[in-house]
Amino acid sequence: MFSQPDRDDYTDRKGENTVTEPAAESSTERLFDAVIVGAGFSGMYQLHRLRALGLSVRVLEQGGDIGGTWYWNRYPGARCDIPTIEYSFSFDKTLEQSWDWHELMAGQPEILDYANHFAERFDLRRDIDFDTEVTAAAFDENRADWRITTADGAVTRARYLIMATGCLSVPHWADIPGRDEFAGPVFHTGLWPAAGVDHRSQRVGIIGAGSSAVQAIPVIAETAAQVLSFQRTPVYSMPANNHPLDDAFRADIKARYDSIRAAQRASMAGFVLYGVQGKVQDMGAANILDLSVEERRARLDAEGLASLRRYPDVAVDLTANETACDLFREEIASLVEDPDTASALMPRGYPLGCKRQVVDTNYYETFNRPHVEAIDLRAEPIERITATGIRTSRADYEFDQLIFATGFDAMTGALTRVDIRGRGNRALREHWEAGPRSYLGLQAHGFPNLFTVTGPGSPSVLSNMLVSIEQHCDWITDCIAAMRDNGHALIEPERAAEDAWVEHVNAVAQGTVLTAPSCNSWYLGANIPGKTRLFMPYIGGVGAYREKCAAVVANGYEGFRFA
Ligand code: FAD
Ligand code: N01
């Protein structure tokens, strides 16, 4: 346990803090060294690491059990879109060797099984409060700790507050007129009932065309009587080429896991074995604009749609990108038999690769089935949701079940919906009014001892998240251990370090298709009406970012100040 700091610890920040008399401690308040919010992979791993330091730790989780993303997103077809052998923890060799993945890109049930196995192996549940939503957290300058309030009104105090609240954990319900008028059952892919939903003999209307819808539609179409897919922005989806794994494959991976993990940590995106199509990546140096029409077509035929993203100029040059997009649309026209349906599914007006890549199993082919229809909202916008379905400018569509596959308030949503107050009672929402600000995506100036796991300003959602989660939780753990060893009570970034990092994060994203004005991705916050448009994750790559974080530590936690 740490000792409480002196009030004098704060006197070096004149004008930035208001030191008042310590509040009387309520007898009902619980005290811990650290509180972690969220029991997904981040919160669970952080708990395991901090426990090992000998800290008293409590995890507060609004859901009914562990798993985070994989607890909430149980919609049909939900699965990983990168090889799960790489989307797994690397810190424990026995865990690594004892777990057998059955598919290249495991489905939600198998990933949730893995999360449960992890929780049981390390006996994590005994330190987790479920059904416990954190609504507010205020830094108490007198006590140098965080006062954390949950929805039931209970207060928990902790020296360290670690927000492991997830980047894609706040479902976004599209604000469509009449949203509450539909008379039948309504679902969100990110809040799917654990008991499942029976689509047999049902007419299903589904709004959205991102990863969730692309995964769900082919599976729902297997049993539903009809599927009506309402698409405002069709995606550039590529085949996942998922397949079962056999013993020989698993044995080979297990034998060389160490080198695979090392390569993952040093890589750009945290996964190294396969490209998005399940083939060994050939990053080919040729630009698409340097090839003839025949050469482009030949490469597409040989390597599939993923080849379009491997041309270097496609990532940075909008003319090159549009050339790739034309080829993409040609491919859709060849996959989808009905020309009107093909046209409804064709992405237009935004660059390939500016959004999170979507991969699928039989997505375009599913629209060749007679009971599956794509409604092109670019041609007939939704006017309202009615008691029986959706009215567009052209027609009334009737169905029995309505699904919102409309995404998330990504990266910042889970943090800004909690009333977080730092020094001087300053709200994080206010600090982030013009977009999220942090140093290394780990901490914000004015919010001592508050850490974010895979927060904005870190590689986070641009990477294999398990690699980034391990790196962040390890960094936070090492930092807390170093503070204990050196008798420090508080850490927070210097304002100048935060400014410089925010500028760097913005600078490296410029000049890529990710920040093109025609791109409205959730990376930019553009999917949420009124949200500040700013590229939130760090595009520099997990390897370079890891080195930067290590260098900061090696230089005596450069850019941070301790008290
Ligand atoms: P989460 O799993 O989101 O967990 C956060 C937890 O915090 C949640 O349980 C939530 O209930 C809880 N919480 C939030 N706010 C509060 C609060 N105020 N009070 C209490 N509890 C709170 N990433 C990849 O790298 N590869 C993939 O293939 C991949 N597939 C994905 C598929 C889907 C459908 C989705 C939605 C995301 C996917 N991701 C993928 C991203 C995924 O979110 C991460 O990989 C990872 O699971 C995040 O773990 P986490 O613990 O950081 O966050
Ligand atoms: O959400 P999205 P998602 N009217 O934001 C539409 C991860 N993930 O849940 O672009 C009509 O991508 C919206 O249209 P538009 C992954 O990181 C991974 O699918 O706003 N439509 C869009 O089509 C992913 O990127 C996997 O015009 C409206 C859709 O809803 C992230 O989670 C699987 C609308 C939302 O797409 C989010 O994916 C699932 C409106 N008013 C998720 N409002 C894997 O495969 C919104 N839309 C690993």
Tens of pLDDT along 324-373? Answer: 999 999 999 999 999 999 999 999 999 999 999 999 999 999 999 999 99
CA of 407 to the centre of ligand 2 (A): 4
Mean per-residue pLDDT for 250-261?
A: 96
Identify the residue whose C-alpha is closest to ligand 2 atom 36. Answer: 210
What are the pLDDT digits (tens) for 501-522? Answer: 999 999 999 999 999 999 999 9
Q: What ligand 1 atom has the least distance to the C-alpha of 417? A: 18
Mutate to test the pocket of ligand 1, among 465, 523, 527, 542 (most ligand atoms within 8 A of CB): 465
3-state secondary structure of 117: helix
Q: What is the pLDDT of residue 473?
A: 98
Mean per-residue pLDDT for 468-490?
A: 98
Mutate to test the pocket of ligand 2, among 41, 103, 170, 211 (most ligand atoms within 8 A of CB): 211
Tell me what percent of the residues of the chain surpass a pLDDT of 90.
Answer: 92
Mutate to test the pocket of ligand 1, among 168, 450, 464 (most ligand atoms within 8 A of CB): 168
Closest C-alpha among 147, 120, 125 to residue 61? 125
Identify the residue whose C-alpha is closest to ligand 2 atom 26. Answer: 211
Read off the tokens for 437.
């600000």
Does 2 score more than 50 pLDDT?
Answer: no
CA–CA separation, 213 and 407 (whole Å): 9
Task: For residue 50, give the H/E element and its range.
Answer: helix 41-52
Q: Which residue has the tokens 């977009």?
A: 435
What's the mean per-residue pLDDT of the chain? 93
Q: What is the pLDDT of residue 277?
A: 39
CA of 79 to the centre of ligand 1 (A): 13
- For residues 265 and 257, is the Cβ–Cβ distance under 8 A? no
Q: Taking the model in full, what pTM does it have?
A: 0.94
List of E strands, 179-276: 186-188, 203-207, 226-231, 237-239
Does 120 score more than 50 pLDDT?
Answer: yes
Does 22 score more than 50 pLDDT?
Answer: no
Ligand 1: residues within 6 Å at CB? 37-43, 60-63, 68-69, 71, 73, 78, 80-82, 87, 133-134, 164-169, 212, 414, 418, 453-454, 464-465, 469
Does 169 score more than 70 pLDDT?
Answer: yes
Does 1 score more than 80 pLDDT?
Answer: no
Ligand 2: residues within 6 Å at CB? 80-81, 168, 174, 176, 189, 207-213, 215, 232-233, 356, 377, 382, 405-408, 461, 522, 527
Does 382 score more than 90 pLDDT?
Answer: yes
Q: What ligand 1 atom has the least distance to the C-alpha of 79? A: 32
Q: What is the pLDDT of residue 16?
A: 28
Mean per-residue pLDDT for 24-33?
A: 80
Identify the residue whose C-alpha is closest to ligand 1 atom 44. Answer: 465
Identify the residue whose C-alpha is closest to ligand 2 atom 3. Answer: 407
Q: Which residues of 185-195 are buried (b: 16+ CB within 10 A; e: fewer)?
A: eebbbbebeee
Which ligand sits nearest to residue 358's alpha carbon?
2
Which ligand sits nearest to residue 350's alpha carbon?
2
CA of 40 to the centre of ligand 1 (A): 6
CA–CA separation, 162 and 399 (whole Å): 43
Does 27 score more than 80 pLDDT?
Answer: no
3-state secondary structure of 477: helix
